[in-house]
Amino acid sequence: MNAPSTDLRQGAGVAVHAPGRLHLGFLDPSGTLGRRFGSIGLVVEGFETVVSLQPARRDEVGADPAASGAELERAVAWLQRLREETGLTNPLKLRLLRTLPVHAGFGSGTQLALALGRAFAACHGLQVDTPTLARWLGRGLRSGIGIAGFDVGGLLVDGGPSPDGAPAPLLARIAWPADWRVIVVLEPARRGLSGAQEREAIAALAPLPRERAAEICHQVLMRLLPGAAQADFAAFAAGLNVVQQVLGAHFAPAQHGSPWTSPAVARLMHWLREAPGAPVALGQSSWGPTGFAIVESARRAEDLLAAARTAGVVDDALALQVVAGRNTGATLAAAP
């Protein structure tokens, strides 16, 4: 993978725009062949973290209204780690201009860390690849799709971290078909599991049987990826729906017995699954609460949402957004 490029001169301020991603599922969360996890992910338009970093006379930090104050605390801690890794301690002005929804299934922590790392490298003229930045900042310990998505975008599959701790290799990258759309369903007041709670929840789950992991891998290799590569939406949707059904049942014990973190998201998703017409691929991104419904066109997305609102299945707590897939990674520009 190639790091995002920039023609900014060394020492200039930089703003990094890092896109969000949806986690579409694990290949083998229990590691039945000795290699755990492996992930399927999609980088999307419409959601991003934006970090600005530039030289200053003294350290300054701040967050704009579109950014999270809690994320600013994490960014300051990561800036300190970058300084420790590189020995570069000159004063900097750090601003968070925008952040992804936190603990909602968009990979907010990894994108913030990598955006800051790339900005730090650009400001100092460092030639360092994204996996190295991720290792410095402790990201990508289970999934590699956030790292690959930051560099190249698209539909991604990684092989999970190796037993010796080496980061997950990228196994496949498919350009997302231009016409396909994703209905992103958020419940902003809820948060998915993260940190220690996430680790405890995974540890408490019964192992996913090998035959179920094999079914996921078969669906990914022979339906999901070929479907995306040839813009065969029916094949893609059939494969992803099986993957999400298997994983939803596996993770349900950690989510009060449901494949969904949010009851409001679940209600809409159940309705979309039964909606007449062309197929829909749907599921929950990571621990949620964000759900997604992938359809083959913008018109199909608009018609489904209109029908869902008419049917009264869109809860007031939900925020809906129709987005395209994104086939490019992070971008760099001069600091504002």
Residue 142 pLDDT > 80: no
Residues 158, 33 contacting (CB under 8 angstroms): no
pLDDT at 11: 56
Instruction: Look up residue 150 and give its two tokens.
Output: 């930051």
DSSP for 149-181 reads HHHH-SEEEE----TT-PPPPEEEEEPPPTT-E
Q: Are 44 and 138 in contact (CB under 8 A)?
A: no
Domains belonging to the chain, first-starting first, are: 14-175+326-334 (3.30.230.10), 181-324 (3.30.70.890)
Q: What is the DSSP letter of 67?
A: S
Give CA 294 to chain center in angstroms.
Answer: 15
Report the relative pairing of strands 281-284 and 331-334 from DSSP bridges: unpaired
The stretch 205-229 carries a mean pLDDT of 97
**Pair 328, 156: CB distance under 8 Å:** no
**What region, left, alpha or beta, does residue 277 occupy, with left being phi > 0 and alpha being psi -120 to 50 degrees?**
left
8 vs 14: CA distance, rounded Å: 8
Q: What is the DSSP string of 267-320?
A: HHHHHHHH-SSS--EEEE-TT-S-EEEEES-HHHHHHHHHHHHHHT-S-TT-EE
Q: Tell me: the pLDDT tens digits for 173-201?
A: 999 999 999 999 999 999 887 778 888 88
φ, ψ of residue 24 to 5 degrees: the values are -90, -5
The pLDDT-based confidence of 167 (bands split at 50, 70, 90) is confident
Predicted confidence (pLDDT) per residue in 2-29, tens digit: 444 444 445 579 999 999 999 999 999 9
Please name the helix (run of DSSP H) or strand (run of DSSP E) that holds residue 226, with its range, or none: helix 225-229
